[in-house]
Amino acid sequence: MRDVAMAAQVSISTVSHVLNGTRFVDPATETRVRAVIEQLGYRHNHLARAVARGGRSQSIGVGVSAWTNPYFGAVVSAIDSAVADFGSTLLLGETGEDEEREYRLVTSLLERRVDGIVLAPGPRSAERTLPMLEAAKTPTVLLDRIYPAAKLDQVGTDNIEPTASLVDHLAQTHGKLRIGLVSGLPGLSTTHERLLGYQTGLQRNGIAFDPTLVGDGGSSVEQGEQAAARMLATEDPPTAIIAGNNEMSVGTLRWLRTNRLSVPDDVAFCGFDDFDWAELMTSPITAIAQDWPRIGLRAVSLLRARLEDTTLPYSIDRLPASLIIRNSCGCP
């Protein structure tokens, strides 16, 4: 920058002001400066600028469990476009639902002085990560998984009622009484809430809760497959299954196909989470669709709001989800 100033015969601060548009500069001088910048191939150092400005770096930190989950892909995509509008870049990391990895990631984001953080907290975030985030002055919004006690902004989908509505549909429209649940990773609020929704649904349809009909599917394809296997290989298997997320839907359906059980004839199926391919399955999937992009956008709104006013009360936003009825439930 000093070189540019010399070559353009202006002061270093004029160069700075040209670059930032922070004060009026004579058009002639400006042109000259820009020409020199171009010619010298000079590139503004964003890092030094952030330091000089005393901190903030025009970037947002994002942490999710796995990029490969299309759910997070869509959310991050929405966040990306939203923050790009005000000149920020994303700093990303994967947590793998691992406490240690998550803690390290957030620490790193904080050290890099991001302007805000969007995090899908894992099962044990309350131990170290959330306290750290609450203590830090960096605006944070928790994504997808809600920690009601956390003094942070949060946004997620309503899980209870939609899951209950799946049970309603299976029970009322298709007369299913033995409904199984391939449940998510223990410790995630989504897992807990969807289980709650499942139980709510059973209850209001007068079906007794049978713990053998709930399997730990670990929120992954593999574990979901195993959970389905355990549940369906029993004496008195369920006649319908609900999978707690898209990954476990794949796992469950894979087991069913491998074992030549047809959906919905042998066993009816519903999933939480809809996706592009859902309608192309052997039996198009009946599922709860979350509004992924909207979740991402909302996260950014919350962040911006708090950026402007730190004293705002913490809010927990629940976005609605909708039931998409296709055929895997038994509907024609």
Inter-residue contact 108 to 100 (CB < 8 Å): no
From the CB of 22, what's the least distance to DNA, in Å?
A: 5
Cα torsion 32, 35, 37, 40 to 10°: value is: -120
For residue 178, what are its two tokens? 């033995």
207 φ/ψ angles, rounded to the nearest 5 degrees = -105, 130
CB closer to a copy of itself, 201 vs 224: 224
CB closer to DNA, 22 vs 68: 22
Q: Which residue has the tokens 């009946």?
A: 286
CB closer to a copy of itself, 193 vs 247: 247
Residues in the chain: 332
9 binds DNA (CB under 7 A): yes
CB closer to DNA, 10 vs 195: 10
Nearest residue to 182 via CA among 147, 212, 208, 159: 212
Cβ neighbours of residue 61 under 8 Å, at least 6 residues apart?
Answer: 90, 91, 92, 93, 106, 109, 110, 112, 114, 116, 117, 118, 119
Q: Which does 29 bind (CB under 5 to 8 A by kind): a copy of itself, DNA, none?
A: DNA
For residue 188, what are its two tokens? 């995630």
Identity of residue 144: D
CA distances from 228 to 203, 216, 258 (A): 23, 9, 12
Q: Which does 12 bind (CB under 5 to 8 A by kind): DNA, a copy of itself, none?
A: DNA
- # residues near a copy of itself by CB under 8 A: 52
16 binds a copy of itself (CB under 8 A): no
Classify the C-alpha dihedral 86-88-93-99 as positive or negative: negative
CB closer to DNA, 59 vs 183: 59
Nearest residue to 154 via CA among 319, 316, 306, 311: 316
- # residues near DNA by CB under 7 A: 30
Inter-residue contact 204 to 170 (CB < 8 Å): no
Q: Is residue 143 classed as helix, strand or coil in its secondary structure? A: strand
Q: Which does 279 bind (CB under 5 to 8 A by kind): DNA, a copy of itself, none?
A: a copy of itself
From the CB of 175, what's the least distance to a copy of itself, in Å?
A: 26
6 binds a copy of itself (CB under 8 A): no
Among residues 7, 34, 49, 94, the one that binds DNA under rule CB under 7 A? 49
16 binds DNA (CB under 7 A): yes
47 binds a copy of itself (CB under 8 A): yes
Among residues 10, 18, 32, 93, the one that binds a copy of itself under rule CB under 8 A? 93
**Rounded to whole angstroms, how far apart are CA atoms 18 and 26?**
10
Among residues 21, 41, 54, 313, the one that binds DNA under rule CB under 7 A? 54
**Rounded to whole angstroms, how far apart are CA atoms 71 and 64?**
10
181 binds a copy of itself (CB under 8 A): no
Per-residue x/- marks for a copy of itself, 256-285, CB under 8 A? -x-----------------xxx-xxxx---
24 binds DNA (CB under 7 A): yes
Question: Which residues bind to a copy of itself, rule: CB under 8 A?
Answer: 41, 43-48, 50-51, 57, 59, 66-70, 72-74, 76-77, 80-81, 84, 89-94, 101, 105, 108-113, 135-136, 221, 250, 253-254, 257, 275-277, 279-282
